[in-house]
Amino acid sequence: MIRYIVTRLRNALTGITLVTLLSGCLSDGSSTASSGQLGGVVGSSSTNLVSGVLMKGPVRQAEIDIYLPNNLNGNLGAHIAGPFLTDANGRWSGSLPLGVKGIVLVKSSGGHYIDEATGKTVSIGSNVGFITAADLDASRLVVLSPWSYATYLAAKTGIVSDFNTAVGDAIVDATVNLGFNPVTTDVQDPSGPQSGANPQQKKYAALIAAFAQLEEEQINGTRANLAKFSNSNRFELALALAEDLSNGKLDGLSADSSTPVFVSTGQGAGNTSQSLPYLNLSGLGMLGLAADSFVSTHDGLRGVPAIGTSLTFDIQINN
């Protein structure tokens, strides 16, 4: 059914219908690309301003940098702007070189935030963060979150002909699956009051908080499938879970469905890394249930419909 809907979106919808849906809701391996490989475009753009939010709980004092993508493999290409610093609400803004448009990569580094499930401050390493692929022609607001990061990974892994087209496919699929565009839907602190937030924004906040909720349940709860990561950095664990779900399942494998996802245990000499265990071989239901659990204890998210085992992230690149 999901693939039918996506096909209808790509092939049947035109004009304002598709634009409204995508705009309201559409492994970091850096490389130096030749100009012929760069996916972004320098041309006639009417504005050079860009802004956004970094959300895993609002991430404060993080650096945001913007790159052109290598259109062959989706890696970071030429650095074109930044760093821009996030404020207390995880928000940032800055200027791009005149004429930059099309697909760019937005990368966060460092910062700190309050974990939604534990209430503890989490510090992020200076070289650790999310990457999001954003289409500046669609929106000048860019959201960095576990979900936009997973969308980027799915596009990067699924390239058939070129990265730019893969990004478009991935964003359409993610929007249909989640009910909002993870790259352009503005989102507030999941633990906050959600002042003025619409249903899509509230659902987005709930699904971001689901990572912290799932981590806590699986580390200190009765199942404790993630107990060996009790000393792991919670942001790095969320980063790993986002990579895990990028193939549509919490199966311990990355977007290619064959490479194990590793995360540091935060223990012993060298902070030994171990692979994630499978949590959901058939989908993302466990994460959906974690979102519901978080919603039930946070008044700001009251009214978000139950997500449960209906949560899907089926990204297929057809370019």
Indicate whether 59 belongs to any domain.
yes
Q: At 34, which CATH number?
A: 2.60.40.1120
Indicate whether 132 belongs to any domain.
yes
- Other beta carbons less than 10 A from residue 119's beta carbon: 10
Q: What tens-digit pLDDT sequence spans the chain (319 residues)? A: 444 344 434 443 333 333 444 444 433 333 333 333 444 544 444 568 999 999 999 999 999 999 999 999 999 999 999 999 999 999 999 999 998 999 999 999 999 999 999 999 999 999 999 999 999 999 999 999 999 999 999 999 999 889 999 999 999 999 999 999 999 999 999 999 998 999 999 999 999 999 999 999 999 977 789 999 999 999 999 999 999 999 999 999 999 999 999 999 886 555 689 999 999 888 899 999 999 999 999 999 999 999 999 999 999 887 6
Single out the residue of 19, 18, 16 nearest to residue 8, CA to CA.
18
Phi then psi for residue 133, to 5 deg, are -95, 120
Indicate whether 114 belongs to any domain.
yes
Q: Which domain holds residue 74?
A: 30-161
Q: What span, in angstroms and rounded, lies between the C-alpha atoms of 207 and 212?
A: 10
The pLDDT value recorded for residue 281 is 81
Domains identified in the chain, total number = 1
The pLDDT value recorded for residue 11 is 41
What sign does the dihedral 39-45-50-55 (CA atoms) show? Answer: negative
Indicate whether 236 belongs to any domain.
no
Indicate whether 182 belongs to any domain.
no
Indicate whether 238 belongs to any domain.
no
DSSP strand pairing (41-42 vs 100-101): antiparallel
Single out the residue of 108, 118, 117 nearest to residue 86, CA to CA.
108
Q: Tell me the per-residue pLDDT of 99-120, one tens digit each, with 9 for 90 and over.
A: 899 999 999 999 999 999 999 9
Indicate whether 106 belongs to any domain.
yes
The pLDDT value recorded for residue 224 is 80
Indicate whether 61 belongs to any domain.
yes
